[in-house]
């Protein structure tokens, strides 16, 4: 199981807002496939999948404010 965490999106950025999920629970994803669009006060960013697998759980709803290193979703890298 891989936890997809909110990355550090800038020097002075401590959190981001989940703008739009590009995948759903149960979807198979490839490595580097965009999973979610995140907005900060400085820029909008797509967060890619760190590995191929199946989206098991989306942990942050659209509109949620997630701190850096906060949990966005979980992937099962053993799924194909």
Per-residue pLDDT of the chain (80 residues; tens, 9 = 90+): 999 999 988 888 899 999 999 999 999 999 999 999 999 988 899 999 999 999 999 999 999 999 999 999 999 999 76
Q: Which residues, at least 6 apart from 57, have a Cβ–Cβ distance to it below 8 Å?
A: 25, 73, 74
Residue 61, token pair as written in the block: 């709803």
What's the pTM value of the predicted model, to 2 decimals?
Answer: 0.92
Residue 80, classified by CB atoms within 10 Å of its CB into exposed (0-12), middle (13-18) or buried (19+), is: exposed
Q: What angle do CA 27, 68, 36 make, to 5 degrees?
A: 25
Q: What is the pLDDT, as a whole number, of residue 46?
A: 96
Q: What is the pLDDT, as a whole number, of residue 80?
A: 62
């Amino acid at each position: 199981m891989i936890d997809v965490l909110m990355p550090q999106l800038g020097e002075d950025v401590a959190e981001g807002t989940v703008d739009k999920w590009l995948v759903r629970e149960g979807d198979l994803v490839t490595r580097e496939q965009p999973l979610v669009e995140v907005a900060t006060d400085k820029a909008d960013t797509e967060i890619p999948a760190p590995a191929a697998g199946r989206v098991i759980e989306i942990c942050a709803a659209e509109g949620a404010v997630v701190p850096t290193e906060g949990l966005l979703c979980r992937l099962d890298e053993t799924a194909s």
